Structure 1
Amino acid sequence: MSAVKAKILFFYFGDENFRYGVAQVYLHVLNGLDKSRFEPYLVVTGRLASPIHGLSEDVHVVELNKPGLKKSFFSYVATIRKIKPDVIVSAMEHPNAISVLARWLSGVKAKLILTSHGVLSARIAHMWRKKEGLIISTAVKVFYPFADHLVGVSRYVRDDLLKFTNKLPPSSVIYNPVFPERVGREILPAEKEKGLIVTSSRLAALKCIDEAVRALQYLDEGYRLVILGDGPEQARLQTLVGQLGLKPRVEFAGYVDDPFYWYRLAEILVLPSMWEGFGNVLIEAMSCGCQIVANSQAGAPSEVLCNGEYGFLYEGGNAESLANNVLKARSEPKDRQSLINYASEFTDVRVARQYEQLFDSLLMDA
């Protein structure tokens, strides 16, 4: 007789496209879980525009078909009661607070893991109005202590939470899974295009893509920039490119399903973000032998790059400093094979095993 599988419920706030950030972390962890021991569920607050590309068929997907967290709350509670999970995994501040309440109201004695993917202090300072920031910081202080465990995607993220409450539950750091284990082995760098710089992110103000554009002014015409991603800042960035006379040297590629095509071609990836909880693109590009140039003041990138061992760190907000480090990355590059070997550690299976160990330890205490 086979052993009973532990039911693991991953709660995701979103709808339509399952693409950026938390969605990709969930995708890799769900795929990497040992399905002979765990039965994974993905509960989505909204309705997906299409089936999730690349998601294992062994993952049960439940769409609540509700707009927003408030309207999905009671459906979420009902779903917990129906599935009766052994462990609930939630991500980001709003859904985490809701998950604490939903577990309590459901009456199901599931273990609750809250995961933190962003730098809360930076989000409060730059993304939310003062009132909203106060609500979120209060929610963290009130609700987070009722979880069974907290996972930060970097030490920087976890330590930042301590600014808001000194009563965090037991915590650990689990770096993001970035690609399937097989991809980590199969991706090989192609012949690099000299002077090709790439940046990849959602085109939002906090990603500071304009800094990468401005840096081109300090580099000769042998350098060009390809911008991967879409978002609300695209029109402003296109206007800036025109104003600076850089149209022949900047390409907007939009959202691409296969960014590795560009990483294999590019010599350098730049990450000028104001802050990052982790920075998956660092590992993705590194796996293809790209040199990395990242903002030293963005939090986790310095940690992920081991304080410059695997990349170059520049003074954020200074386009000339970014350009100078691009030049340094070309003249004094990091050993390419060392970059590839380091990146190969960030696979779905390896990270899923870390989550499985956490599940096991929590369930042993149940």
Structure 2
Amino acid sequence: MRVLNIIGSLGVGGAERYLSRVTPRLREHGVEVEICCLEKTGALLAETEAAGVTVHGTRFIFRRRSSGLPRLAPALLRTVGDIRRLVRGGRYDAVHTYLFLADLLGTAGAQLAGCKRIITSRRALHAWRHGPAPYEHWLELGTNLVADELIANSHTVLEDAERHERFLPRARGVVYNGVETDHYRPASPGRGKGPLRLLNIGALAPRKGQEYGLSALAELCAAGVEARLVLVGDGPDRPALEAQAARLGVGNQVEFAGEQLDPRPFLEAADLFVFPSRQEGFSNALIEAMASGLPVVYDHWAWLVAQGFRLGAWINITPSYLAGTYDVGFEYWVGFWYALAGHHPEVPRVVDALLASAVPPAAYLAGRATSLGEQVARRAAWLMALWPLTIYWSGYDLIKDPVTWFLIALGMLALVQKDRVRFVLLGVLVTVVLVLVRSYVGAGFFILLPLSAALRRDWKGLVAVGAALVASQLLLGAFAIHPPVWSSAPYTGNGQALILQPGSKSSQGSVDELIRRFFHVSGQSTAKVEGGGSDVSSILREGPGPIAARFVVGTAVTVLGPRLSIHDIVHPTIDSGMYPGLLVWLPLIPFTFLGLWRGIRSRDPYVLSFVFLAAGLWLGLSFFYAGVFRQREMAFPPTLLFTALGLSRPWPKSWPWIYGIAIALGLGLLVLREVGAF
């Protein structure tokens, strides 16, 4: 059997290292395997050819795709022709492609050559597989239609592809990465004297998250722990990481070892392997560390636990931050849930469904207890029941949403309790759990509960709930579970920014940067705030202009969400599939504002509490998150209550004009963002 593997190059990367390992072994089993590199270069090229593997090349010359694939069209077509001639002349029984560009060009060339068996690969989660441009999604669809089989390097990657891609080949399988454990000498963590030796291996690129490792090293050193961190690998993030290390005062404790063909000497010399990646399919570096017997700290999405490792090493799921930070409970909840999903995937789905299914009846009971009445409460319950029925509902990524919806619904029930004891106990319980799971929502309830008691003029309830809330936060801090909500410690969390700053350090927070963010926002538009001071103070230091721009642009982005929904329907993702299509949400926005206005005018203290809850969530997300629309789902349990109120007749006489203008404005802004205006 003759097989041709097609890949971009043979540099030191995960897929490249896997291919250089497995190809010689396949030849030992009688399979005639050859490799075609789009660009015949890379540190592993000589080693692979020395093992007796024939490596072909094409006329493709890699250039940064800053101007997009369309500019590369002539070179890409020429490369497809080279692959077609190679496949036809080599009479291969199968062609197997690796990574996005090789998948695209290799499957096209093999199809034109008449190859009978075309296999494509998935080795990373879909959000990181290629860029966000619509044409890249369409090209991916074409590749899926051409391929006969798909092989992923883990079940999680395969399930992720099945959730986010269309027209995948019917024949699908999983082949895990692997290492020969006999080739790795066991490390001896903790041997001898000297600093704690931390090690990370991987490309210095955004997806690998080495900046979190540097922050953790700085916290260790500040706590009096003598430690050093060795970063093995190279990439575009190296200058930024070097600058961060110097800024944190750990420049002398960090060694940038560069790209290494053989990482085993570094593994043998380490005490602890740190792995703060934002995403992994099935990491070669991690299994090499495990083969060396190193303890591993993996942060923070426990994707690899979901793979169900059987190599016998202990994976320690820890928060991304060691002390004085937020959402600690959420970190452990996610770690446990993903570990469970790896063995019993039906359990999280069932529990998520049960948690979400409790929201409509809770909202109905809460709405009926106010002056809104039976009809509005019932309509709101139906809206909430239909809301999760989206493409976004299908994945484990909803792990944080149903529990937050459930807790917010319980909080709504607490707000309408007329019995003071139930109001205090249920309200404080919900607040404490929300502080652990979603700290910014918990902080909102910390303010809202006393405010609700004041609106009802229940002064004894105000004193009781205020004292109970303060006591609960002091207990959390005393037992080192979580800092109090009034803590000024900066958020240094899990890669989703609490405050989204523009990427340019020179124009941080400028009006132009925020406006550009609105018109060019995408699913990966997140950035982490660094530096001292509290979150609020870091924003207020920006000045009145950026503060106003942050609020206006953040509101528009949060309300309208990702770009035009046509793309969402054709190619839904975790980021863009969060609604049942913007074409459904957009017509409801004016009714929601009308319902909020009616709620304000009702003067019912319970309804006003819900107004403060809904408006507080939306304004907080718009101001502090300023462009991270993924978080807006948290606001919908109370929001849809006012959507239902706005849908109730009679409407104002000028409503057709107001409604038409609002829809035209929303569609116009979406179109402007889609075409990249301004």
TM-score calculated relative to the size of structure 2: 0.42
Matched with 1:95 is 102
Matched with 2:263 is 259
What is the CA distance between 1:255 and its match in structure 2? Answer: 1.5
What is the CA distance between 1:222 and its match in structure 2? Answer: 2.2
1:168-219 per-position Cα deviation (integer Å, ceiling 9, x unaligned): 32111111133xx3xx214222443562110111111221101001001332
Matched letter for residue 201 of structure 2: S
Query: In the alignment, is residue 222 of structure 1 matched against residue 226 of structure 2?
Result: yes
What is the CA distance between 1:234 and its match in structure 2? Answer: 1.1
Matched with 1:208 is 209
Matched with 2:548 is none
Matched letter for residue 59 of structure 1: V
Q: Structure 1 residues 166, 204: CA separation in 2 closer, same or farther (over 3 Å shift)?
A: same
More strand by share: 1
In the alignment, is the contact (CA less than 8 A) between 2:59 and 2:78 conserved in 1?
no
Matched with 1:65 is 59
Structural RMSD (CA): 2.7
Structure-1 separation of matches of 2:105 and 2:244: 40
Matched letter for residue 230 of structure 1: D
In the alignment, is the contact (CA less than 8 A) between 1:197 and 1:269 conserved in 2?
yes
- Pairing partner for 1:192 from 186, 189, 196: 189
Q: Please identify, of 157-166 and 291-300, the stretch whose mean Cα deviation from structure 2 is larger.
A: 291-300
In the alignment, is the contact (CA less than 8 A) between 1:40 and 1:59 conserved in 2?
yes
Structure-2 separation of matches of 1:143 and 1:307: 34
- Pairing partner for 2:81 from 74, 77, 82: 74
In the alignment, is the contact (CA less than 8 A) between 1:188 and 1:264 conserved in 2?
yes
Structure-2 separation of matches of 1:298 and 1:136: 28
Matched with 2:275 is 271
Matched letter for residue 144 of structure 2: Y
Matched letter for residue 218 of structure 1: E
Structure-2 separation of matches of 1:305 and 1:185: 18
Matched letter for residue 274 of structure 1: R
More helix by share: 2
Q: Structure 1 residues 10, 291: CA separation in 2 closer, same or farther (over 3 Å shift)?
A: same
1:298-356 per-position Cα deviation (integer Å, ceiling 9, x unaligned): 6346425479973112345x46599xx9xxxxxxxxxxxxxxxxxxxxxxxxxxxxxxx
Matched letter for residue 140 of structure 2: V
Structure-1 separation of matches of 2:185 and 2:324: 30
The aligned length equals: 304
Q: Structure 1 residues 190, 21: CA separation in 2 closer, same or farther (over 3 Å shift)?
A: closer
Query: In the alignment, is residue 281 of structure 1 matched against residue 285 of structure 2?
Result: yes
Matched with 2:144 is 144
Matched letter for residue 5 of structure 2: F
Structure showing greater Rg: 2
1:28-85 per-position Cα deviation (integer Å, ceiling 9, x unaligned): 1101114462111111112326742255543211122322544311011110111010
Matched with 1:294 is 298
What is the CA distance between 1:239 and its match in structure 2? Answer: 1.2
Matched letter for residue 66 of structure 1: F
Structure-1 separation of matches of 2:79 and 2:323: 47
In the alignment, is the contact (CA less than 8 A) between 2:6 and 2:36 conserved in 1?
yes
Q: Please identify, of 185-194 and 87-96, the stretch whose mean Cα deviation from structure 2 is larger.
A: 185-194
Structure-2 separation of matches of 1:302 and 1:267: 25
- SS of 2:46 mapped into structure 1: coil
* 1:132-171 to 2 correspondences below 5 Å: 134-162=134-162, 163-165=164-166, 167-171=168-172
* 1:341-356 to 2 correspondences below 5 Å: none
Structure-2 separation of matches of 1:267 and 1:197: 6
In the alignment, is the contact (CA less than 8 A) between 1:35 and 1:58 conserved in 2?
no
Q: Which has the higher contact order (CA 8 A, sep 6+)?
A: 1
Q: Structure 1 residues 56, 33: CA separation in 2 closer, same or farther (over 3 Å shift)?
A: farther
Structure-1 separation of matches of 2:264 and 2:217: 23
- Pairing partner for 1:85 from 88, 92, 109: 92
In the alignment, is the contact (CA less than 8 A) between 2:59 and 2:82 conserved in 1?
no
Q: Structure 1 residues 158, 210: CA separation in 2 closer, same or farther (over 3 Å shift)?
A: same
What is the CA distance between 1:256 and its match in structure 2? Answer: 2.0
What is the CA distance between 1:284 and its match in structure 2? Answer: 0.5
Matched with 2:581 is none
In the alignment, is the contact (CA less than 8 A) between 1:84 and 1:110 conserved in 2?
no
Matched letter for residue 170 of structure 1: A
- Pairing partner for 2:116 from 102, 110, 113: 110
- SS of 1:275 mapped into structure 2: coil
In the alignment, is the contact (CA less than 8 A) between 2:111 and 2:146 conserved in 1?
no
In the alignment, is the contact (CA less than 8 A) between 1:18 and 1:52 conserved in 2?
no
Matched letter for residue 111 of structure 1: R
* 1:24-63 to 2 correspondences below 5 Å: 24-35=17-28, 37-48=30-41, 51-55=45-49, 57-63=51-57
- Pairing partner for 1:12 from 7, 25, 37: 7
- SS of 1:52 mapped into structure 2: helix
In the alignment, is the contact (CA less than 8 A) between 2:27 and 2:33 conserved in 1?
no
- SS of 2:307 mapped into structure 1: helix
Structure-1 separation of matches of 2:49 and 2:147: 27
What is the CA distance between 1:20 and its match in structure 2? Answer: 0.9
- SS of 2:231 mapped into structure 1: strand
1:89-125 per-position Cα deviation (integer Å, ceiling 9, x unaligned): 1012332232332122112x3311111111112445x
Q: Which runs of 5+ in 1 are unaligned?
A: 1-5, 326-366
Structure-2 separation of matches of 1:214 and 1:285: 22
In the alignment, is the contact (CA less than 8 A) between 2:187 and 2:270 conserved in 1?
no
Matched letter for residue 113 of structure 2: S
1:139-190 per-position Cα deviation (integer Å, ceiling 9, x unaligned): 3333314322110001111111112115432111111133xx3xx2142224
In the alignment, is the contact (CA less than 8 A) between 1:191 and 1:264 conserved in 2?
yes
Structure-1 separation of matches of 2:230 and 2:113: 48
In the alignment, is the contact (CA less than 8 A) between 1:9 and 1:88 conserved in 2?
yes
In the alignment, is the contact (CA less than 8 A) between 1:296 and 1:302 conserved in 2?
no
Q: Structure 1 residues 167, 90: CA separation in 2 closer, same or farther (over 3 Å shift)?
A: closer
